[in-house]
Amino acid sequence: MRNTPTESNALSERRLSLRSGTVTALRRQARRKGRVSVFVDGEFALGISEEVLAGSTLHKGLAVSEDLLLELLNRDIEFTARARAIKFLSYRARSEKEIGDRLRRYGYEQAVVDKVLAWLSTRGYVDDQAFASTFAAERAGNRGFGARRIAAELSRLGISRELADQALVSISDESPSENETVLRKARQRWQRLRSEPDPRKRKSKLVQYLQRRGFDYSDAMAILDRISAADDRSDLT
């Protein structure tokens, strides 16, 4: 179940309900694997992960203060947030903004989000510079997008202009008119435009298509020249 903003409010209420006393039981939760229920003076106090429990001094018979229980609850919240972030990263690399947005959607407070992002960063799980470089190379090489489109997508993902520019430099060595993915997609669109009887409109529509894919006018014209020249040669054979 997602940690929605409503659940976040429930966590706040749980913090307020913590009371000092004596730990009377520690029980594994039947419905949530890896979770333990902590009972204080015979009443349920809070649920924490087995990992958080293992890293604490908590045991049956221990006298606990409200502060200690609050510390355990906060550590558990951070632990579950880390777990959610790592699962999110398991599908593909993410920017810091993507991870932060996802955790906030689950209802985690900004302080928790900041701690998780710092933890991920120090361990190399999140690196916006590496992410931007890989993202730009994939979009240019596999998708055939131009620099403007890639820069816009990186901005949407929270990548700074400086890191985006660095990433785009790494893919600028190859001219778009030499990129096989770009040429393949341009040829496909050029073929679909064969029904356009006016040659000038056909060329204009291809240029507009390329500009929507992120290429500036000069690059779009270079791609058009190569595509149309090849098409003219094929008409002569």
pLDDT tens column, 30-82: 999 999 999 999 999 999 999 999 999 999 999 999 999 999 999 999 999 99
Per-residue pLDDT at 83 exceeds 90: yes
Residues 84 and 186 in one domain: no
User: What is the model's pLDDT at position 237?
Assistant: 41
Strand residues in 29-90 grouped as ranges (E): 35-40, 43-49, 63-64
Residues 26 and 117 in one domain: yes
Tally of CB atoms within 10 A around 177: 18
User: What is the model's pLDDT at position 178?
Assistant: 84
Per-residue pLDDT at 193 exceeds 90: yes
Residues 135 and 65 in one domain: no
Residues 15 and 112 in one domain: yes
Residues 73 and 55 in one domain: yes
Of 169, 185, 202, which closes a domain?
A: 169
Residues 203 and 144 in one domain: no
Residues 107 and 186 in one domain: no
Give the 3-state secondary structure of residue 46: strand
Number of domains composing the chain: 3
Q: In which domain, by residue range, is 189 found?
A: 176-236
Beta bridge partners of 48: 36
Nearest Cα to 24, choosing from 77, 61, 55?
61
Residues 102 and 152 in one domain: no
Residues 113 and 221 in one domain: no
Of 122, 140, 155, which closes a domain?
A: 122
Residues 112 and 51 in one domain: yes
Residues 16 and 101 in one domain: yes
| Residue 207: both structure tokens together | 């240029």
Kindly state the percentage of the chain with pLDDT values over 90: 80
Residues 117 and 194 in one domain: no
Provide mean pLDDT across the span 164-192: 89
